[in-house]
Every structure is written in structure tokens, then in C-alpha cells.
């Protein structure tokens, strides 16, 4: 796979038997990332980047090794500069805020959950009979519709007809 990289910085560290270069660069997509290169794996690629300066642009050929990592196997000077990258060197963050539609959907879920809890509480007052799931959902739907203004006047809900007798 070929890509163009614009060098942002290079730091070379002597590890004793070999040297390691860490190259910070902008890729084709404008994303800032880094790559560690070892002097013993691809000496020509290592030497090119070890002596590179900020702003140098290279065309890099890479391939996956047997462990599944991308290795830079060859490099040539030149290549087109990366496009549409922020001047600060930082990638533009993506918004993590909910859209208006997502907020509205979340609000419906909150009201629905609250309506279920309220329905269970209201039907639980009747200790003579354990409410069925269908009864709970019916009452919860009534509460939900009332909260969202879909019901202008309270409808008769047969689950509450003897509620006063149960409380006294």
C-alpha cells in the first residue's frame, strides 16, 4: 500500500545494539500519527527518516508482516503533500453531542421508562390482585400518552375502579 507522509518530527534513540527512530507524520488523510522504525529491519527506510527534517514529504510503500502489523518497506523522496489538514497539527475532533433527533428519542425512552415505573407503582397498590404485564403496559401507555399530550382528558382505566376500597 502506497501513501504520502509529511514529516512533523523525528526523534532517534540509541538502544545500544540498534537505533530506533520515532517519526511523527501526517498521512494522506491528514491524520497525525507516529511510526517507530528500527535500524536493523529496513536500514534504507530507517536512514531516510532518521535524517529527515520537518516538512519533508515522502512516498512510502508499506505491507503487512506475518504478525499483522504494517511495515514501511520502501521510501522515495517527493510525493504530493497531504491535503486538508488543520494547521495546528491536531485532527479536528468529531462532535460527541447528540443530535436533536437523538435527544428527542432519548426523552421518549425516559418518559416510557418512568411511565412503566409509575404504572407498576399504581397497580401495585391493589394488593388483592397481582397485575399482569399487559395491564402494566396498558397503564404505562396511558401515562406516556398523557405526558406527551396525546390524551386531553383522563380516560377510564378499569384497573382503578375499586382503588378507593383498596386504600381504605
* Domains of the chain as residue ranges with CATH: 2-77 (2.40.50), 100-167 (no CATH)
CA pair distance 72, 62, nearest whole angstrom: 4
pLDDT at residue 80, as a whole number: 45
Report the mean per-residue pLDDT for the chain: 79
Mapped onto helix, strand or coil, the DSSP state of residue 103 is helix
CA pair distance 14, 50, nearest whole angstrom: 12
Mean pLDDT of 72-99: 64
| pLDDT over threshold 50, residue 66 | yes
Q: Hey, which bits of 113-152 come out as E strands?
A: none
CA pair distance 155, 144, nearest whole angstrom: 13
Residues 95, 98, 100, CA angle at the centre, nearest 5°? Answer: 125
At 145-161, the pLDDT tens digits run 888 888 755 555 555 55
pLDDT at residue 5, as a whole number: 87
This model's pTM is above 0.85: no
At 2-38, the pLDDT tens digits run 888 888 999 898 888 899 989 989 888 888 888 899 8
Amino acid at each position: 500500500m502506497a501513501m504520502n507522509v509529511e514529516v512533523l518530527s523525528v526523534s532517534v534513540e540509541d538502544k545500544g545494539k540498534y537505533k530506533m527512530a520515532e517519526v511523527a507524520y501526517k498521512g494522506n488523510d491528514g491524520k497525525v500519527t507516529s511510526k517507530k522504525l528500527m535500524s536493523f529491519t529496513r536500514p534504507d527506510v530507517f536512514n531516510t527518516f532518521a535524517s529527515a527534517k520537518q516538512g519533508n514529504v515522502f512516498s512510502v510503500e508499506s505491507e503487512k508482516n506475518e504478525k499483522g502489523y504494517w511495515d514501511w518497506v520502501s521510501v522515495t523522496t517527493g510525493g504530493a503533500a497531504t491535503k486538508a489538514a488543520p494547521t495546528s497539527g491536531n485532527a479536528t475532533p468529531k462532535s460527541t453531542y447528540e443530535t436533536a433527533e437523538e435527544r428527542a428519542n432519548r426523552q421518549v425512552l425516559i418518559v416510557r421508562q418512568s411511565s412503566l415505573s409509575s404504572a407498576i407503582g399504581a397497580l401495585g397498590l391493589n394488593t388483592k390482585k397481582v397485575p399482569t404485564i399487559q395491564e402494566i403496559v396498558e397503564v404505562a401507555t396511558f401515562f406516556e400518552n398523557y405526558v406527551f399530550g396525546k390524551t386531553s382528558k383522563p380516560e377510564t382505566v378499569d384497573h382503578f375502579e375499586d382503588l378507593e376500597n383498596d386504600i381504605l
